[in-house]
Amino acid sequence: MATDKNTIQSYDAYALKWAERMRSGKNLAHTFLEKPAMYQQLPNLKGKSVLCIGCGTGEECAHLQSRGAKKVIGIDISKGLIDYAKTSYPNLAFHVMDMEQLDFPEQTFDFVYSSLTMHYIDNWLDTLRGIHRILKQHGTFLFSTHHPMTWGAEVTRMSESESRVLGYEKHTSGEYTVFGDYFNARKVDDVWFNEFHVSYYHRPLSAIIKDIRDSGFVISDILEPKPLASVIEENSNFYAIYGKIPLFMIFELTKPV
């Protein structure tokens, strides 16, 4: 199943707000956790051709360019975000494109980067095969995605409290209440920041690894990034939680000969 239509509409409609959020540095999960880990993992990009999938507002493309890439192309399914990226970075190339239907010739790129986008699609196997096709031999695909342990948890959002629980409670009656569902792959409908309606797909780690292996990629690294300690000054709760509970996972895949 393709990216949920409401999710694309949300990214379109909130393109400006999303951009402000990204640039303000107030998105702690991006600024203090995911981006530092992704950028630390980048290979030497000098002279390389690079594709950035789910590029959003384009900052990541600018970063990849600043690391010496010869050519960077950013793609995103949201026209609103691509319009924003084109205006912000007129010297970079951006296209509205669905990652499930990559429109590039075989072996075009040395490196493909995708930050927090894979969980919006259900069909990982065909998408991974598509990315494998457009990578050169020995090319790398680096991506981050939801950590399934945390995103398989049951989320309760109320005005006065919020919880995210994967586990069970045994009652004195002897009955159990089970919270969350790690094993069953499924679509999850969610609301972020009280206004951003989004749907993503949960899948267990074994399903992720099976699709990666079946697509022909080899896993060269797996990371479970923790927040930078500098987030404590901004929000000590964020550090207390995500220093212990994994929010995202990073996979580095290689296309073998």
Ligand X SMILES: C[S@@+](CC[C@H](N)C(=O)[O-])C[C@H]1O[C@@H](n2cnc3c(N)ncnc32)[C@H](O)[C@@H]1O
Where along the sequence are the contacts to ligand X (CB under 6 A)?
Answer: 3, 11, 22, 30, 53-56, 60, 75-78, 81, 98-100, 115-117, 120-121
Tell me how far, at minimum, the Cβ of 208 lies from ligand X, in Å: 17
Contacts of residue 69, defined as CB under 8 A and 6 or more positions apart, other chains included, come to 45, 46, 47, 48, 49, 50, 111
Contacts of residue 123, defined as CB under 8 A and 6 or more positions apart, other chains included, come to 1, 2, 100
Residue with Cβ nearer ligand X (94 or 120): 120
Residue with Cβ nearer ligand X (13 or 165): 13
Tell me how far, at minimum, the Cβ of 80 lies from ligand X, in Å: 8
Residue with Cβ nearer ligand X (65 or 117): 117
Tell me how far, at minimum, the Cβ of 25 lies from ligand X, in Å: 12
Tell me how far, at minimum, the Cβ of 256 lies from ligand X, in Å: 25
Tell me how far, at minimum, the Cβ of 65 lies from ligand X, in Å: 15
Residue with Cβ nearer ligand X (100 or 234): 100
Residue with Cβ nearer ligand X (75 or 92): 75
